[in-house]
Amino acid sequence: QVQLQESGPGLVKPSETLSLNCTVSGGSISRTSYYWGWIRQPPGKGLEWIGSIYYTGSTYDNPSLKSRVTISVDTSKDQFSLNLRSVTAADTAVYYCVRHLAAGGTFEYWGQGTLVTVSS
């Protein structure tokens, strides 16, 4: 059974960079056919897909985030990471890491989520 676990600071200052890691267990991140992604949910609001990465490093992300996103992968650690630059209070959210099929965006496995608050 695949499990995903987010980690990282719970508080980030405005204009700084939000950085999160996701550790995958129960299966290698290098398995073909799967992408690894990030989704966020502001408190009391809906879900927003941020971006996804393949184990080769190929990525794609949500254009609405205006190129503030970098997603990377470390196959030796079965981890992938999110960097979101120039954050504002609007980036306060629960951030989830997910797994989906390379053939489509069906988010089958989710981490438990981690709340990141942007505040000075």
Partner 1 sequence: DIQMTQSPSSLSASVGDRVTITCRASQSISSYLNWYQQKPGKAPKLLIYAASTLQRGVPARFSGSGSGTDFTLTISSLQPEDYGTYYCQQSDSISYTFGQGTKLEIK
In the complex, the residues that contact partner 1 under the rule CB under 8 A are: 46-49, 60, 62-64, 96, 104-108, 110-113
**Cα(79)–Cα(64) distance, rounded to whole angstroms?**
25
State the nearest-atom distance from the C-beta of 120 to partner 1, in Å.
Answer: 27
> Of 1 and 120, which CB lies nearer to partner 1 in the complex structure?
1
Place of tokens 């196959």: 75
H and E: helices and strands count for the chain: 0, 11
**Cβ closer to partner 1: 49 or 55?**
49
> What sign has the CA pseudo-torsion 18, 15, 52, 106?
positive
Name the minimum Å distance from CB 96 to partner 1: 6
